[in-house]
Amino acid sequence: MDFQLAVEDQTLQDEAREFVRQEWHPFYKTKNWDEIGLLSPFHADDEALAAQREFAKKLVARGWYTMHWPAEHGGRDASITAQLAFREGMAYEGAPVSLGGGLVAPVLMIHGTDWQKEEFLPKLANADVDFAQGFSEPNAGSDLASLQTRAVRDGDDYVINGQKIWTSGAHYGEWYHVLVRTDPEAPKHRGISYIMMQLRDEGKLTEGITLRPLIDMTRTRRWSEVFFDNVRVPARNLIGEENRGWYAAMTTLSFERSGIETAARYLGELEVFLTQLRQTRFNGINVLDDTVVRHKLADLRLELEARRMLSYRVAFMQSKGELPVKEGSMGKAWGDMLGKKVPALFASIMQEYGRLGLGDKHAPMGGYVGHKYSAMHGSGIGGGATEIQRNIIAQRGLGLPR
């Protein structure tokens, strides 16, 4: 069986890769590993954010940013396989942004009002607005339906009180899509609503919202805790019906978990790593002359190719109109495992130096390997824990009882 992309999809992927090499990768041009920090999608200092936004604008100008959107919303109705080819090309070259619109655009297209579509879709299509996602709470992660943040209708507004946690990008996003409890008496899945609120306007936080930074072991501010104290949000920002937010949120999560380009991202990282290993010597011996290292790298390469085939299977099923429920969870769970395995292997090959992070003068590759190693622990938690995906595979794939 031949698993190649179709000629037109392969051409798109080649063009996408060349585009990233020209328009992004600062270190491809300078070979300066100090700039490697910019390649991390989680690196969120002002300089990196500005560079990422500029890159997104270039994708808009090229007409690629919303190629996956339906034509009625200004997209190009790109086929699933074209989207796969494009996303792989972007991921392979380590692009910080790929197809645009985030998690909100598809939800608005399906569940949004006419006003919401007119107000937000053009801004999302132009990469003019960033939405953070406020789902998790201190006691509602895997069991998301236990969330307690309360919204009470008051005239034309909802008044919101409570707390979110682990919100990626809340320290720079302008808008926020959140799940809130609107009916505390109803069964837990049926009392939840989905609403958008403005986080900040020209840098100033909305009245009643407080952020507390969460700094992780990479010393990066990636998340925030977000507190609401009588925050007033116009009722027209409600997505879908009141108390039916859970079902709209499932649309969001199904997009968040697809991870179809995961293997390509790691394959690209492996290529970059191999480039470095060709010049790396320990005790006078080139690392790649070590048979054990070579075998481990070859095993990883094979595993990444196998993971890529799963992506192709998911894309193939979607292109036939099938819903890849267990296959999507298999991809997520496998991607989670690779998210730990790849950095752990790279760090171990770099021996004692492998865990030194960004900015350490002794760190190989500007600390890229050590940074990835520290960051890897979030893999298997973000977007839904691996165990939850395994539950789905067990019940929906293997037919095991709950």
The set of catalytic residues is: 256
Minimum CB–partner distance for residue 289 and ligand FAD (Å): 36
Is residue 44 close enough to count as binding ligand FAD by CB under 6 A?
Answer: no
Nearer of residues 12 and 249 to ligand FAD, judged by Cβ = 249
Minimum CB–partner distance for residue 15 and ligand FAD (Å): 31
Nearer of residues 98 and 386 to ligand FAD, judged by Cβ = 386
Return the residues of window 153-182 that contact ligand FAD according to CB under 6 A: 166-168
Minimum CB–partner distance for residue 400 and ligand FAD (Å): 13
Is residue 133 close enough to count as binding ligand FAD by CB under 6 A?
Answer: yes
Is residue 136 close enough to count as binding ligand FAD by CB under 6 A?
Answer: yes
Q: Which of 150, 391, 395, 396 lies at the binding interface for ligand FAD (CB under 6 A)? A: 391
Minimum CB–partner distance for residue 378 and ligand FAD (Å): 3
Is residue 96 close enough to count as binding ligand FAD by CB under 6 A?
Answer: no
Minimum CB–partner distance for residue 265 and ligand FAD (Å): 15
**Exposure of 391 in the CB half-sphere (CA atoms within 13 A):** 8
Minimum CB–partner distance for residue 165 and ligand FAD (Å): 7
Nearer of residues 75 and 245 to ligand FAD, judged by Cβ = 245
Q: Which of 10, 11, 32, 142 lies at the binding interface for ligand FAD (CB under 6 A)? A: 142
Tell me, letter by letter, the H, E, C secondary structure of the chain.
Answer: CCCCCCHHHHHHHHHHHHHHHHHCCHHHHHCCHHHHHHHCCCCCCHHHHHHHHHHHHHHHHHCCCCCCCCHHHCCCCCCHHHHHHHHHHHHHCCCCCCCCCCCHHHHHHHHCCHHHHHHHHHHHHCCCCCEEEECCECCECCCHHHCCCEEEEECCEEEEEEEEEEEECCCCCCEEEEEEECCCCCCHHHHEEEEEEECEECCEECCCEEEEEEECCCCCEEEEEEEEEEEEEEHHHEECCCCEHHHHHHHHHHHHCCCCCHHHHHHHHHHHHHHHHCCCEECCEEHHHCHHHHHHHHHHHHHHHHHHHHHHHHHHHHHCCCCCHHHHHHHHHHHHHHHHHHHHHHHHHCHHHHHCCCCCCCCHHHHHHHHHHHHHHHCCCCCCCHHHHHHHHHHHHCCCCC
Strand 281-282 relative to strand 285-286: parallel, antiparallel, unpaired? antiparallel
Residue number of the CB atom closest to ligand FAD: 141
Minimum CB–partner distance for residue 144 and ligand FAD (Å): 7
Strand 150-154 relative to strand 157-168: parallel, antiparallel, unpaired? antiparallel
Question: Quick one: tokens of 375?
Answer: 């960051």
Is residue 40 close enough to count as binding ligand FAD by CB under 6 A?
Answer: no
Is residue 384 close enough to count as binding ligand FAD by CB under 6 A?
Answer: yes
Cα 359 to Cα 213, 219, 362, 366, 370, distances in angstroms? 21, 11, 9, 7, 10
Is residue 262 close enough to count as binding ligand FAD by CB under 6 A?
Answer: no
Nearer of residues 166 and 368 to ligand FAD, judged by Cβ = 166
Nearest CA to 327 among 400, 240, 393?
Answer: 393
**Stretch binding ligand FAD (CB under 6 A), from 288-296, 319-327, 350-358, 383-391:** 383-391
Q: Which of 14, 154, 305, 387 lies at the binding interface for ligand FAD (CB under 6 A)? A: 387
Nearer of residues 5 and 140 to ligand FAD, judged by Cβ = 140
Under the phi-then-psi rule, with left for phi > 0, alpha for psi from -120 to 50, and beta for the rest, what region is 351?
left
Is residue 214 close enough to count as binding ligand FAD by CB under 6 A?
Answer: no
Is residue 141 close enough to count as binding ligand FAD by CB under 6 A?
Answer: yes
Is residue 55 close enough to count as binding ligand FAD by CB under 6 A?
Answer: no
Q: Which of 134, 240, 245, 343 lies at the binding interface for ligand FAD (CB under 6 A)? A: 134
Minimum CB–partner distance for residue 49 and ligand FAD (Å): 16
Is residue 194 close enough to count as binding ligand FAD by CB under 6 A?
Answer: no
Is residue 135 close enough to count as binding ligand FAD by CB under 6 A?
Answer: yes
Question: Site size for ligand FAD, by CB under 6 A?
Answer: 17
Query: What residues make contact with ligand FAD under the rule CB under 6 A?
Result: 133-136, 141-142, 166-168, 378, 381-382, 384-385, 387-388, 391
